[in-house]
Structure 1
Amino acid sequence: MDALVRTDWLADELGADDLRVVDATFYPAVPGAPIGDAAAEFEAAHIPGAVFMDLAAMADRDTHLPSMLPPADQFAAAMSALGIGDADRVVLYDRSPYRTAARAWWMLQAFGKSEVAILDGGFAKWQDEGHPVTRGAERPARRRFAAHPDKERVRNLAQMAANLDTAAEQVLDARGAARFTGDEPDPHHGTASGHIPGSKNLPYARLFNPDGTWKTADALRAEFDAAEIDLAKPLVTTCGSGITAAVLAFGAHLLGNEAALYDGSWSEWGADPASLKATGPA
């Protein structure tokens, strides 16, 4: 299964015993950002057989930081409850402006699940093309899911601080240009403006075509090139809270680079009085 799948491919595959379709819509609690009720939207309309992955609940409960990876046992239990098993193929979609299917993709990758894809164009394209939708809750049968944490997929504050000296990994920030440069204040109280010193900026929305599908091949590579990122070298992605950083990680994956993700992102770095901050262009 390709990492990015088309709507017509999914329409043909629906009902396969080893296929799990997952709605990973999420609206992060960012002041001034679009607000939605992902669970209610799912019950109102979703792809037949799909289940709802509640990313708001699927986070580490022992930290004040938003959206951090949960412990492996918590994640495994959640996947089992969604009917996702070790041998299953998983196709993710969303209807969020933050392209949150990418966060779900990265989480599954971080816990050792490799047969995972994103539906190109998401639910909007599926619906616009007249594919079937259904409503109501889904009650899948539990399946065994064993989580195998992949530490190479995740970076923490100490690792990011050490990278300031070594520059062993390129750092790419998915936030908008004004937040990156510090021209726009951070929306979170107590969080500084600016970016991690030495990092580059590629606003995540640049990875998509006007119709909401992903850029691919040369068009996608051109965006990383414009951000001065060498995809032949190690890469770490970051953003405000680890959500849209996953969009950049997935884009890099499509081009053969298995990027890591700084899970604490600017919510952690920008609020830490000891961390170095930079402002202005990259």
Structure 2
Amino acid sequence: MLISCTELMEKIRNPNLVLVDCRSYKDYSQGHIPGAVNLDFFYYHWSDTSKDGIKAFEKQMENLLSFLGVTKDKTVVFYDDVSGMSAARGVWLLMYFSHKDTFMLDGGFKKWSSLGLEMETKTNGFKPGKFSGKVNKEIIAGYEYINKKIGKVKLLDARSKDEYNGIIIRAARNGHIPTAINMDWTLNINEDGTMKSLEDLTKMYNFSKDEEIVTYCQGGYRAANSFVALKMLGFKNVKVYLGSWGEWGNKLDLPVDLNQN
């Protein structure tokens, strides 16, 4: 799920590579990896996980990935400033559509630039194609599913402790989903921007591999990073709650908790 800067260097001229810079266009325009196109995933926030909402999400993402030029024969690499949340969201998204040849650049642009590797400033145009993929419902969760499963699945809140405890309020209500445990996604990352080693991640996520785990945050980005970390460790049954607190905290009929873990 990760690709190193060295490994990417070997693929960078491959015509079957789609390299996606997930940072802001401002950052992209100041310097990026040669050949990269810019797609800031934060523009595609989604907070409706009803059945119709998920169908609409799938349609929009199919259109977006077609515009991006993703086809079955393409290797897709996403990168961020670090091994970050938008790049992880891209990896999760392609896994959702069963596209296996997808990676996050380990360390992101921070690591790439620290190694003194080649950069460019010109904007690269998209080369649209026709994307199609088989939806994998096993790695997504909606609010109805979670509401039924509270107490039966492990809920992992990837937000900051202040968001989890309700000190920072980013929805109609503060707090967290009942029974959720808080593990800030930034704990997945080393100081140099790379993902922590499997050994370090194993110590953090000392859970049973038999458990079903659902990650969430505010909008499903930080949760995607925690999803990637768990999948790297070999957890089989992991889902991302796409709507996350941005949806849950604004639905007044859903339960919330303020107790600290």
TM-score by length of 2: 0.90
Task: Return closer, same or farther for 1:117/1:69 CA change in 2, 3 Å cut-off.
Answer: farther
Equivalent residue number for residue 280 of structure 1? 259
2:152 is matched with which residue? 168
| SS of the residue 2:44 aligns to | coil
The partner residue of 1:198 within 166, 179, 193 is 179
Give 2:9's aligned amino acid: A
1:122 equivalent in alignment to 2:100: no
Kindly indicate which of the two structures has a greater share of residues assigned to helix: 2
Q: TM-score, normalised by structure 1?
A: 0.84
In structure 2, distance between residues paired with 1:148 and 1:58: 20
Distance in 2 of aligned mates of 1:97 and 1:141: 25
Distance 1:76 1:43, change over 3 A: same
The SS at the match of 2:41 is: coil
Correspondence 1:237 to 2:183: no
Instruction: Please say if 1:214 is aligned against 2:198.
Output: no
Amino acid at match of 2:139: R
Question: Counterpart amino acid of 1:274?
Answer: D
In 2, the alpha carbon distance for the partners of 1:99 and 1:85 equals 23
1:53 partner amino acid: L
Q: 2:231 aligns with which of 238, 253, 257?
A: 253
In structure 2, the residue corresponding to 1:148 is in which secondary structure? coil
Question: Could you say which residue in structure 2 is the equivalent of 1:9?
Answer: 7
- 1:123 Cα deviation (Å)? 0.5
1:126-153 deviation digits (Å, cap 9, x = unpaired): 0110110111211243223113222111
Matched residue type, 1:272: K
**Residue 78 of structure 1: SS of its match in structure 2?**
helix
Q: How does 1:144-159 map to 2 (within 5 A)?
A: 144-159=130-145
Tell whether the 8 Å contact from 2:215 to 2:240 is kept in structure 1 after alignment. Answer: yes
Residue 257 of structure 1 and its aligned partner are, at CA, apart by 1.5
* Contact preservation (8 Å) 1:58, 1:70: no
| Equivalent residues of 1:69, 1:263 under 8 A apart | no
Paired residue secondary structure (1:171): strand
Q: Mark the runs of 5 or more structure 1 residues left unpaired by the alignment.
A: 26-37
Residue identity in the other structure for 2:18:
R
Q: CA shift at 1:59, angstroms?
A: 4.7
Task: Structure 2: state its 5+ residue gaps.
Answer: none
Aligned residue type for 1:221: T
* Alpha-carbon distance, 1:69 to partner: 8.6
Cα deviation for residue 99 of structure 1 reads: 2.9
Counterpart position of 2:168? 185
Distance 2:81 2:145 in 1: 33
**AA paired with 1:206?**
L
Q: CA deviation at 1:4?
A: 0.9
Structure 1 residues 96, 14: CA separation in 2 closer, same or farther (over 3 Å shift)? closer
What secondary structure is seen at the aligned counterpart in 1 of 2:177? coil
- In the alignment, structure 1 residue 95 sits paired with structure 2 residue 81: yes
Give 2:22's match in structure 1, choosing from 24, 28, 34: 24
Identity of aligned pairs, percent? 27
Map of 1:79-90 to 2, 5 A cutoff?
Answer: 79-90=65-76
Which residue number corresponds to residue 266 of structure 1?
Answer: 245
| Structure 1 residues 69-94: Cα deviation after superposition (integer angstroms, max 9, x where no partner) | 95333322222222221111111101
1:6-55 Cα offsets, whole Å, 9 max, x none, are: 11111111111222211122xxxxxxxxxxxx012212211111111232
Report the counterpart of residue 28 of structure 1 in structure 2.
none
Between 1:263-272 and 1:97-106, the stretch displaced more is 97-106
- Paired residue secondary structure (2:205): helix
**Which shifted more, 140-149 or 112-121?**
140-149
Structure 2 distance, partners of 1:105, 1:24, is 11
Mapped pair 1:107 → 2:88: no
RMSD (Å), alpha carbons: 2.2
Question: d(CA) in 1 for partners of 2:163 and 2:47?
Answer: 27
CA distance, structure 2, for counterparts of residue 156 and residue 99 of structure 1: 19
